[in-house]
Chains A and B, each alone.
Chain A
């Protein structure tokens, strides 16, 4: 399998993408490299034939189709280690020598990403965000934050489909206006019924749907939004030093999630134009997509894993904006402590208030 390691022409060390300066940098001699120069290097490397070193004479057991399903192996050019990994992994670091590598073969034959948003925040920022995430959570078990050791912190370029579409809609609502009055003998309630019709259109841009089965959909949703005006043309050099997945969920499979979001938002937008009524019910919603298109992109995420009390907790940070999310465990003892504090204070105030009111 072909690997791409970027070597520093000055000292020969492995260079990697530095998120703070937005360039490739050699961590050994601090030489910085422009991305344009690496683009030319990429083109030259793509023209190279893959290495072939076949040995003959040994007839061992070969991997069956089922054995190799979903797996791929590669050799590290730095230390020669053979690594077996998921075939959807596009970039990683050699676990033996730590050299950042890009598995070119794993991108071959698949769609090339239309663009990439490079990492702007590093691993230390992810760790700091995690510490901040724990702060101010009154029901978080004290031991979780004090004893917590992050098992893994991985910078991952996650494959996404970005959907663009226009939406035409014809909406019909049943609405009412209610007026009440009374005379000496009766109380009156007048209900006026209206049919409200709205038609129009709107345009959606860059609705992201994650295209990796390995990534939790809800976690990825929670890390939105991204600033797509900072997108860059895809270069494999950006992957250096990070993990990267290629898509294993097709655009056709992902479009259902985008459609649901478009449908709900379109309904909300049109509903917001129906004003001045006491009640509004949707009677008919006809939403039609037009000029739909999609793009394949890689977006930067920091994924942090930890185990506590036998339970796995996964946190994520948007590698561009720093938004940090992840569900936390609850201390039941603290829950009941706060419940009784709130109960006691409210009880005293409510008792005094009720006593004074009933005394009058």
Chain B
């Protein structure tokens, strides 16, 4: 049972790592992309903030009851 559990966990982790690894190798082949931003064309020192307000609006508190030790024992 322990071995089966370990195999299951290892398969899931190995599939994820294999997918990420090969995706990284695939991305090496793609170097042509649409430019969607212009950060490198912002003139040095031109960014000027004239207004900077952080206004607190409200707060909300959610509380969740902790499971009782008795209830755990019954389960």
Contact = CB atoms under 8 A, between A and B. Distances in A.
Contact of B18 (A186, A206, A224, A342): A342
Contacts of B6: 351, 354-355, 358
A225 interface: yes
Contacts of A281: none
B31 A326 contact: yes
Contact of B59 (A140, A193, A199, A327): A193
A186 B64 contact: yes
A346 B5 contact: no
A110 B5 CA distance: 73
B34 A218 contact: yes
Interface string A118-138: 000000000000000100111
A264 interface: yes
Interface string B32-70: 111111111111001111111111111111111110000
A218 B37 CA distance: 13
B65 A343 contact: no
B46 A335 contact: no
Given A207-B41, A262-B38, A196 B53 contact: yes
B15 to A, nearest CB: 7
A200 B18 contact: no
A194 B58 CA distance: 7
Interface in A220-243: 221-222, 224-225
Contact of B43 (A200, A202, A264): A202
A145 interface: no
A265 B41 CA distance: 9
A198 B51 contact: yes
Interface string B15-34: 10111011001101111111
A330 B47 contact: no
Nearest to B21: A342
B73 interface: no
A54 B2 CA distance: 95
Contact of B58 (A138, A166, A193): A193
A327 B13 contact: no
Given A202-B43, A335-B22, A339-B18, A260 B56 contact: no
A202 B9 contact: no
A327 B32 CA distance: 6
A200 B42 CA distance: 14
Contacts of B9: 350-351, 354
Nearest to B30: A327
Interface of A: 133, 136-140, 166, 170, 175, 182, 184-207, 216-219, 221-222, 224-225, 258, 260-262, 264-265, 268-269, 273, 325-330, 335, 338-340, 342-344, 346-348, 350-351, 354-355, 358-359
Given A198-B52, A204-B42, 14 more contacts: A139-B22, A166-B46, A186-B64, A193-B58, A199-B51, A207-B41, A217-B34, A222-B31, A262-B38, A327-B29, A327-B30, A329-B29, A342-B18, A347-B11
